[in-house]
Amino acid sequence: MSGLQIQELIEAGVHFGHRSSRWHPAMAEYIHQKHNKIHVIDLRQTVRGIVRAQHFLENICAAGHEVVFVGTKSQAREVVREQSARCGMHFCVHRWLGGTLTNFQTIRARLRRLEELEKDLADSADGSRGKKELATMERERRKIFRNLEGIRNMNRLPGAMITVDIRRDEIAVREAHTKGIPVISIVDTDCDPNLVDIPIPGNDDAYRSIEVILSQLTDSIIAGKDKLVAEQQAEAARKSADEDKTRAKEKSRNMTKENRSKEFQPPQPAPGADAPQSEKAKPKLVVTPEKAAKTKAEDPKPSATGSGEASKS
């Protein structure tokens, strides 16, 4: 686990549990010892839970899923708001409305009503509405905004839920189980770890303890989102390269079609081939001296009588 040591957990007070009289028997495997009637949490189990949660969150965020933070107790509100803003995820720091996950369409309708109220209040600056009507609209807007502020951009069900106190946020945990959403939670000695999928044994009452654990989970969410962005960029580059190859093949195919579509032109005749036979130049016979001497030796010489008779005639 990067950047986190056991000493850091001890300094944050993660190992402090509740009084032994308030313990839950299912937490026996996560308790190291009892000191002054207070249970001490085994930090080795805490580290294992954080590592499991980190791997899980990184994988689901790399797959494109979203995460919702739930921390409605007073000492967790500021931390939850800060860490969720750092990783760009959804949060709930006040009252968890029943049906936020199981009746998601109704919650989306209330968020649309919030947008309508904000638009009407912005347009009422010209004095077209009375003071009493404006006060009623502002009161309704403030109530919806207070409960649904952190999930107003959640357009689909999240891929995981991170809670701080499963006893206080029991409704949210049950709704997540109903919808099949994995739950990661800090589990104190008075809680049942079987209610969550990935329990992280630790102190859920101290501000510093909550901050240390949530910061580690937030880092894994950011790493998963960075991995998703890198994969999307690589996929976009691969698609662009494939499109360039397809475009080049199409261009070469079009050029071949253009060449084939041209009319056939027979080869041009040689110069002078169309002239009459009489005008064609006769080929010149070239006689070498050796060939001339050989021809003269083969031809017989004419007789004198024959030449004389020829002359008389």
Of 205, 234, 263, the residue that ends a domain is 234
39 confidence band (pLDDT: 50, 70, 90): very high
Tell me: do 164 and 80 sit in the same domain: yes
* Domain presence at residue 33: yes
Whats the size of the chain, residue-wise?
313
Residue 42 DSSP SS3: coil
> 176 with 96, same domain?
yes
* Residues 179 and 65 occupy one common structural domain: yes
Asked if residue 194 is part of any domain, the answer here is: yes
pLDDT computed for residue 80 by the predictor? 95
Whether residue 48 is found in the same domain as residue 168: yes
For residues 145-160, average pLDDT: 92
**Confidence grade of residue 312 (pLDDT, cut at 50, 70, 90):** very low
222 in a structural domain: yes
Q: Confidence class of residue 313 from pLDDT cuts 50, 70 and 90? A: very low
pLDDT band at 247 (very low <50, low <70, confident <90, very high): confident
Are residues 212 and 78 part of one domain?
yes
Task: Identify whether 162 is part of a domain.
Answer: yes
Quickly list DSSP for 229-263: HHHHHHHHHHHHHHHHHHHHHHHHHHHHHHHHHSP
Whether the predicted pLDDT of 3 surpasses 70: no
> Is a pLDDT exceeding 80 seen at residue 272?
no
Q: What percent of the chain has pLDDT over 90?
A: 56
For residue 307, what pLDDT is reported? 46
pLDDT at 127: 72
110 lies in the same domain as 95:
no
**Does 174 lie in the same domain as 211?**
yes
pLDDT at residue 45 in the model: 92
167 and 72 assigned to the same domain: yes
Assess whether 21 and 143 both reside in one domain.
no
Strands (E), 153-271: 160-163, 183-187, 198-201
79 in any annotated domain: yes
Tokens of 301: 């010489």
Does residue 229 register a pLDDT over 80?
yes
pLDDT at 78: 93
Rounded to the nearest 5 degrees, what angle is found at the Cα of 95, between the Cα atoms of 164 and 18? 35
Q: Per-residue pLDDT for 255 more than 80?
A: no
Mean pLDDT of the region 108-126: 88
Name residue 183's beta-bridge partners: 161
Question: Which range of residues forms the domain containing residue 135?
Answer: 102-153
The pLDDT value recorded for residue 163 is 95
> Where do runs of H (alpha helix) occur along 124-166?
131-148
**Claim to verify: residue 145 and residue 187 sit in the same structural domain:** no
Where is the domain boundary, 153, 171, 187?
153
Task: Tell me the two tokens of residue 66.
Answer: 């979203």
Q: Is 129 within the bounds of a domain?
A: yes
Residue 272 belongs to some domain of the structure: no
Q: CA 228, 230, 235 angle in degrees (round to 5)? A: 95
Number of domains in the chain: 2
Kindly indicate the confidence band of residue 184, based on its pLDDT and cuts at 50, 70 and 90.
very high
pLDDT of amino acid 18: 87
* 3-state secondary structure at position 207: helix
259 within some domain: no
Task: Give the confidence band of 290 by pLDDT, cuts at 50, 70, 90.
Answer: confident
Residues 118 and 213 in one domain: no
Question: Could you say which of 132, 153, 174 is where a domain stops?
Answer: 153
pLDDT score for 306: 47
CATH code for the domain in which residue 211 is found: 3.40.50.10490
Residues 50 and 138 in one domain: no
